[in-house]
């Protein structure tokens, strides 16, 4: 069922029980419409073959989309009866969600409550079953779903090709030079197709294997592996990891060490990072009684690049859910710019496309409002309606990927283009 947030208030029954060890959670996910949240081999997936119990669907953008989703979720979870004998993050009543990046986006924001979830954390595995009160709890499947055949995508430049992107960067530098913004994050797109019927779990598996320290996610056709935590909430503690400032990995150990050191001492990247950290701290302070961030960023190593990173931690001063904090945090300077509202206008002016859910919030929330939220980066959006392939038959599904870079004073258009190529690598390699 897919309904608007204002229409959704069924009474739910939830049961979580321990389960035997699960070798590969992804084998239980739906091949065509996977719902996935994984990191370092831990997390959970919605079991394929079962319709969602409930869906909160908010069409288009809207500045209040996260707040509306938070309100609808609070009503839904308050009306649930939960029997959870496992009591781990991700057990009990859980929903997957992805939200549009821009207030003016045509893309919807959506939250799914699955019927059956399998998960594992800390060496323990579980099964959660969810139903409406008028229905029996679903029967738990006993066998995983085997992977379908290998497939690959064909992708190429979209609305903003490499030359166009460099021109957009020059436009961003003009906006900085005129004092309009201090920083603006500009993205470009790749578009292509995949075969109808492709097993999308293969993409999630390639990303989770290649980038185990990232959040591998799949929600409503949005699939990726993000290195950036937007916010986590757990029993009154709030944490975030801010990433801004990037350089490619070196070709050997010496070159790699030099790349990391150069990033750590780069005034341009330090400035870009500071804008992003200040954006998060400013948004979280009104909702916390204590909030701390490291004085200096550290370099975070990923398989293909280095990031400047800062971890933030605090204690909530109010009964705020993860979605409530998503509403006040998004968009951060790391994905939009500074000042944020003005940067968004510059993005709309210079990017000839709707970002959709790229760089928007993606994650999960439980019945207590706790959960984990990432920024949807290193990802691609797969559309459900087929298009004509080379044969003329409707046998392909459209796919769009985005990657961006933060533009500040001193940015070089060619260097920023190279940065987007590095950031495209995880999803492009996984699609090959």
- DSSP secondary structure letters along 260-296: HHHHHT-HHHHHHHHHHHHHHHHHHGGGEEEEEE-SS
> What is the CATH number for 282?
3.60.120.10
Beta strands in 20-174 (DSSP E): 36-39, 42-46, 54-58, 80-84, 94-98, 109-113, 116-121, 124-132, 154-157
* Residue 362, domain member (yes or no): yes
392 φψ region: left (φ > 0), alpha (ψ -120 to 50), beta (else): left
**Structure-block tokens of residue 220:** 């409503």
Indicate whether 146 belongs to any domain: no
143: burial class by Cβ within 10 Å (0-12, 13-18, 19+)? exposed
Q: What is the pLDDT of residue 407?
A: 95
> What pLDDT is stored for residue 9 in this prediction?
65
Q: Which residue among the candidates 27, 228, 351, 372 is catalytic per the annotation?
A: 228
How many folded domains does the chain comprise? 1
Pairing of strands 183-195, 396-408: antiparallel
Q: How many residues in the chain?
A: 432
Q: Is residue 389 part of a domain?
A: yes
* Token pair listed for 325: 């904090």
**109, burial (CB in 10 Å: exposed 0-12, middle 13-18, buried 19+):** buried
Q: Which two tokens stand for residue 349?
A: 């002016």
pLDDT of residue 389: 84
List the alpha helices (DSSP H) in 243-387: 253-264, 267-284, 322-329, 340-350
| Per-residue confidence (pLDDT) for residue 179, from 0 to 100 | 97
First to last CA, the chain: 34
CA 203 to chain centre: 15
Q: Which two tokens stand for residue 213?
A: 């320290």
DSSP 208: H
Bridge partners, residue 117, by sequence:
46, 128
* Selection from 66, 70, 76 nearest residue 109 by Cα: 66
Paired residues of 224 in beta bridges: 217, 379
Residue 272 is a catalytic residue: no
Contact status, residue 372 vs residue 232, Cβ threshold 8 Å:
yes
Output the pLDDT for position 4: 47
Q: Which residue has the tokens 């190593």?
A: 301
- Residue 74 CB coordination number (10 Å): 17
**183 noted as active-site residue:** yes
| C-alpha–C-alpha distance, residues 421 and 428, integer Å | 10
Residue 314 belongs to domain spanning: 3-141+152-431
Three-class secondary structure of residue 150 per DSSP = coil
Instruction: Report helix, strand or coil for 351.
Output: coil
Alpha carbon 272 to chain centroid, angstroms: 21
Closest by CA to 180, choosing from 346, 409, 350, is 346
Do residues 193 and 396 make contact, with C-beta atoms less than 8 angstroms apart?
Answer: yes
For residue 147, tell me if it sits in a domain.
no
Q: What is the pLDDT of residue 172?
A: 98
Q: Tell me, what's the pLDDT at 328?
A: 92
Give the pLDDT of residue 171: 98
67 DSSP 8-state letter: H
Question: What pLDDT, on a 0 to 100 scale, did the predictor assign at position 5?
Answer: 46
Is residue 13 one of the residues assigned to a domain? Answer: yes
In a domain, 123, yes or no: yes
Query: Which one from 183, 272, 351, 372 is the annotated catalytic residue?
Result: 183
| CA triple 360-225-240, angle to 5 deg | 60
d(CA 377, CA 363): 12
- The single residue listed with the structure tokens 């990033």 is 263
Domain presence at residue 344: yes
Q: What is the residue-level pLDDT of the chain in tens, covering all 432 positions?
A: 344 444 446 799 999 999 999 999 999 999 999 999 999 999 999 999 899 999 999 998 788 999 999 999 999 999 899 999 999 999 999 999 999 999 999 999 999 999 999 999 999 999 999 999 988 999 887 688 899 999 999 899 999 999 999 999 999 999 999 999 999 999 999 999 999 999 999 999 999 999 999 999 999 999 999 998 999 999 989 998 888 888 888 888 999 899 899 999 988 888 888 888 888 898 899 889 899 888 889 998 888 888 899 999 999 988 889 999 999 999 998 899 999 999 999 999 999 999 999 999 999 999 999 999 999 999 999 999 999 988 889 999 999 999 999 999 999 999 999 999 999 999 999 999
On whether residue 36 sits in a domain, the answer given is yes
* Residue 349 β-bridge partners: none
């Amino acid at each position: 069922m897919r309904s608007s947030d204002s229409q959704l208030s069924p009474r739910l029954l939830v049961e979580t029980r321990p389960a035997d060890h699960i070798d590969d959670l992804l084998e239980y996910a739906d091949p065509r419409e996977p719902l996935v949240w994984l990191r370092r081999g831990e997390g959970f997936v919605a079991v394929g073959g079962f319709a969602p119990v409930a869906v909160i669907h908010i069409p288009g953008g809207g500045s209040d989309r996260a707040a509306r989703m938070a309100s609808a979720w609070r009503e839904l979870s308050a009306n649930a009866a939960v029997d959870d004998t496992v009591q781990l993050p991700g057990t009990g009543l859980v929903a997957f969600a992805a939200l549009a990046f821009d207030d003016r986006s045509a893309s919807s924001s959506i939250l799914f409550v699955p019927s059956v979830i399998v998960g594992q954390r800390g060496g323990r595995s579980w099964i959660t079953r969810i139903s409406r009160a008028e229905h029996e709890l679903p029967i738990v499947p006993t066998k995983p779903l085997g992977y379908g055949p290998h497939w690959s995508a064909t992708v190429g430049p979209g609305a903003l090709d490499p030359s166009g992107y460099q021109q957009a960067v020059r436009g961003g530098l003009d906006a900085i030079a005129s004092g309009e913004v201090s920083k603006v994050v500009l993205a470009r797109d790749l578009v292509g197709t995949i075969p109808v019927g492709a097993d999308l779990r293969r993409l999630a598996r390639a990303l989770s294997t290649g980038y185990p320290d990232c959040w591998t996610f799949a929600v409503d056709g949005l699939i990726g592996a993000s290195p950036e935590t937007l916010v986590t909430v757990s029993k009154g503690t709030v944490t975030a990891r801010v990433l801004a400032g990037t350089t490619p990995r070196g070709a050997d150990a010496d070159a790699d060490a030099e790349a990391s050191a150069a990033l750590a001492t780069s005034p341009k990247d330090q400035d870009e990072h500071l804008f992003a950290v200040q954006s998060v701290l400013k948004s979280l302070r009104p909702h916390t009684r204590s909030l701390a961030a490291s004085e200096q960023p550290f370099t975070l190593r990923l398989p293909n690049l280095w990031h400047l990173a800062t971890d933030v931690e605090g204690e909530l001063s109010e009964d705020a859910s993860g979605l409530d904090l998503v509403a006040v945090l998004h968009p951060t300077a790391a994905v939009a710019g500074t000042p944020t509202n003005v940067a968004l206008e510059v993005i709309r002016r210079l990017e000839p496309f709707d970002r959709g859910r790229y760089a928007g919030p993606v994650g999960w929330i439980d019945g207590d409002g706790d959960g984990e939220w990432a920024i949807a980066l290193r990802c691609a959006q797969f559309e459900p309606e087929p298009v004509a392939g080379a044969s003329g038959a409707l046998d392909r599904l459209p796919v769009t990927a985005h990657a961006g870079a933060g533009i500040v004073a001193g940015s070089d258009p060619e260097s920023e283009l190279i940065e987007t190529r590095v950031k495209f690598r995880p999803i492009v390699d996984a699609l090959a």
